Structure 1
Amino acid sequence: MWYPDLAIDYYRAFASQYISFITRNPKLVIHHLSLKQIREFGINKSITPIVDDVNFLIENKEVGGSHGLMWKTACEAPHRYASVLDTKFLVILDEFQNITKYIYPDQEYQTAAIETLAGSYHSLAESKVAPMLVTGSYAGWLLKVISQYLEAGRLSQIRFSPYLTEDEGLEAVYKYASFYEEPITNDTAMQINKLCMADPFFISCVIISDYEDKDLTTSKGVADTVDYELSEENAEMYLTWGEYIHHTVNEVNDKNAKNILLFLSKHNEKYFTP
């Protein structure tokens, strides 16, 4: 995405969600208002910061504008508004690591992405009136970004397992099977839970698998369906894991990471120290 477009998208999302809260209109959480509509609301409600910010964003969007200040205006908005309007915000940023890789300073994406953009939150991460919660599915990459641009413990790390407990996993099997109207038995429910390691995504892939001979009422049918999801190139589980593995090894160190992954796969019955 082009730098000023991110600033405008970010600001529209923030302002629309704030207006959604004020007006109790939940549709604005998904259907964001345009800059002109946001400015009109600010004028009608006499919220000067909204009017000033929108005017600045509109004036500077074109090539040659103050794009750095546009982004500063957008990303600092929750903290500034909380201070000026005597309220509080919770800033939630999902897949935060992506901000270092896919935002470009030129409209044609011909130069390198702005890798340092995560540093915009260096001081904002410590805000008490607009605290931040950042998440990411590429944990190693996310932690690397945080340690590089939000160092000194500005964000506390909260780790949690992607797996459910055995009982929770079994409950998930029954719920998925019920929702998708997929026949199972008590015995096969336990088998699905065990083979999927109580992983909710893995369980869902097995329950909704498009395997032609899927039969989750027999032990063999469950085993064959699980095998299909792990080995068939068009299966959802295979495609999703493949995508994460591909991006992760490229991000870490490519060749050496692939060799480590291959070694661990060949000896998956053993445990190795780092």
Structure 2
Amino acid sequence: MSDNEESAVGRQSEDDGGQPVYRRYVALGDSFTEGVGDDDAARPNGLRGWADRVAEQLAAHARRAGGPEPAYANLAVRGRLLPQILDEQIEPALELRPDLVTIYAGGNDMMRPSLDLDALVARYESALLRLADSGARVLVFTAYDAGWAPVFRRLRGRTAIYNELLRPAAYRAGADLVDYWNMRGFDDTRMWGTDRLHMSPLGHTLMAAEVLDVLGVPHAVERPQLPPAPALSRAEQREVDREWLRTFLVPWAGRRLRGASSGDGVSPKYPTLTAIEV
């Protein structure tokens, strides 16, 4: 047995029913993982998000199984590009000796005028290999299919190519895939915040359930069950579009022109492993 295999056996366990128990969960990424769109003034950075919800359920399950106290770190920072996530978050994550790592990256890169997808995913694969070799279970996300959404549908072709490169890279690295591209339920505007880019609390709740199901961990997260959305009149839709231009598109374009990022001056929510209250 290799050192990596020994470390994996030492850090991962199962409950009496054979279900996995995770006690050192580390979440990596950008605004998606930080929790932007799911405001909670009582939490660091004023955000909750799907990763916090997952951590809560993992902690509850681990406590029922007994043993060491579970903990959670979230190193994600909004606005980060994939190379920045790898440069800034991989080493700190490995130092925490996690038994579970989730990582989402590449969404911000997709909105850049040009990028080398082959080089980007090749670097991503190397990072995934490092994480998996540490003995942690690694979950990596495909990018979302926004083909139904105005403006963002223009990125659909680029996103599809990215995903086709990422799928075999994740397989070769031994990472599990959370297939955001093929998820159902996110083609409802109520799953998204007013910026149309970040998930709403409902979207974060649905994502938490999806991730926990991939992990095979029992949980109490209920998928949102929504009635049909009310149709907007043309006047109402124009007002919604004007608000989106004012609150998201104009500020976003201004940051791009200035070379600034929404994550400038933002620190990770939980930079060290922290006990989670459930």
Instruction: Please confirm whether the aligned pair reaches a TM-score higher than 0.5, indicating the same fold.
Output: no
Name the TM-score, length of structure 2 as normaliser. Answer: 0.28
TM-score (structure 1 length as normaliser): 0.28
Larger radius of gyration between Structure 1 and Structure 2:
1
Task: Give the structure with the larger strand fraction.
Answer: 2
Greater percentage in helix: 1
